[in-house]
Amino acid sequence: MKTHTAAVAGRKGFHRVLYRMRKHKVLYLLMLPGILYYVIFKYVPMYGIIIAFQNFSIGRGITGSKFVGFKHFVDFFYNTPDAWKLIRNTILLNVYDLLFRFPVPILLALLFHEIRNRAFKGFVQSVSYMPHFLSTVVIAGIMVTFLSQQTGIINHMLGWFGIEPILFLGLPEWFRTIYVGSEIWQTAGWGTILYLAAIAGVDPTLYEAAKIDGANRFQQMRHVTLVGMYPVMIVLFVLTLGHFMETGFQKIILLYNPMTYETADVLNTFVYRRGILSADFSFATAVGLFQAAIGFLLVVTANRIVRKYSESSLW
């Protein structure tokens, strides 16, 4: 009887799903390209994770390659001289990126919201969005040009104060500053869009009530606007943690060189050299799987903590 009831309930649920799909077919069609993208380029390639536990050979393929278990993981942690340096550099770059880049769009969104002149507000927003549409290659080229020791505008300006030219792109201690600074410039404006959408959803009567209570502009921003942005901030923070063990590979590969390996060499660049240049696919996949596992654990842990102390979470 219970089995029959469950089967009937299952059929009803399936029919409800079909009904909703027919009713909102235009919306589902709009979703289709995005779903196909994730299925083809994100989910299907997961099958290749198997080679992290094999001595993969292109000739033998995945089914014919020898299974070696966790050998590549052990080799990375215990037999790779630079393993801990790579992990340290990856963590530090992401910590700096999280500390300095994540708050900037929040502050910008608050400032944009406080601008009352619509024309000026539109101009400033457009200017801040522009770097997002530049390719990483162009951004890296701009950084190289600006920071050149001989012809760079930065060294030229330092010369006005009697400071000797600095080889910015050849000094390990400058790499993290350059990377994080370029990330802030490229992504800060575009990152304000979600926060501005959250601000637009704040009930205007809350501002009126705050004014009646004697709150000034700063207090309204702090106690009304910022609180309205809080759910979006939490969700984006948790999502950012999912990429904590990854870095902007393209930008790093374009900006780093052997002189800056001490601080610039990260797990992604190591995977590129080991997997693509050296064709050691199994080892590179093992390192990539380690990165993904850490990111997954961070997201799950952060979401659990957030859900415990607030109503905003991913799930």
**In tens digits, what is the pLDDT along the chain, a chain of 315 residues?**
555 555 555 566 677 888 888 888 888 899 999 999 999 998 998 899 999 999 998 888 888 899 999 999 999 999 999 999 999 999 999 999 999 999 999 999 999 998 989 899 999 999 999 999 999 999 999 999 999 998 899 999 999 999 999 999 999 999 999 999 999 999 999 999 999 999 999 999 999 999 998 989 899 999 999 999 998 999 899 888 888 888 878 899 999 998 999 999 999 999 999 999 998 999 999 999 999 999 999 988 888 888 887 777 767
> What per-residue confidence (pLDDT) applies to 233?
92
* CA 44 to centroid of chain Cα atoms: 22
Longest dimension (CA), the chain: 89
Contact 209, 202 (CB under 8 A): no
Helix (H/G/I), strand (E/B), else coil: 244: coil
Q: Name the nearest CA neighbour of 305 among 105, 297, 245, 99.
A: 297
Q: Can you point out the beta strands (E) in 56-154?
A: 66-67
Quick one: CATH architecture of 79-309? Orthogonal Bundle (1.10)
> What per-residue confidence (pLDDT) applies to 10?
54
Give 260's Cβ-side CA count (13 Å radius): 22
Distance CA 57, CA 63 (A): 10
> What per-residue confidence (pLDDT) applies to 280?
92
> What per-residue confidence (pLDDT) applies to 9?
53
Q: Collect all residues with Cβ–Cβ distance below 8 Å to 249 and sequence separation of at least 6.
A: 268, 269, 272
Q: Cα–Cα distances in Å, from 94 out to 70, 198, 260?
A: 27, 26, 17
Q: Are strands 54-55 and 66-67 parallel, antiparallel or unpaired?
A: antiparallel
Distance CA 103, CA 257 (A): 30
Scanning the structure block, which residue is given the tokens 């006005």?
A: 160
The CB density around residue 190, as the number of other CB atoms within 10 Å, is: 15
> What per-residue confidence (pLDDT) applies to 16?
84
List the domain boundaries for the chain.
1-69, 79-309
Q: Where do runs of H (alpha helix) occur along 117-225?
A: 118-129, 136-147, 153-160, 172-200, 204-212, 217-220
Task: State the pTM of this model.
Answer: 0.85
Q: What single letter denotes the amino acid at residue 122?
A: G
> What per-residue confidence (pLDDT) applies to 37?
95
Scanning the structure block, which residue is given the tokens 């920071």?
A: 147
> What per-residue confidence (pLDDT) applies to 4?
53
Distance CA 121, CA 73 (A): 52
> What per-residue confidence (pLDDT) applies to 18?
84
Q: Cα–Cα distances in Å, from 118 out to 112, 113, 114?
A: 10, 10, 11
> What per-residue confidence (pLDDT) applies to 5?
55
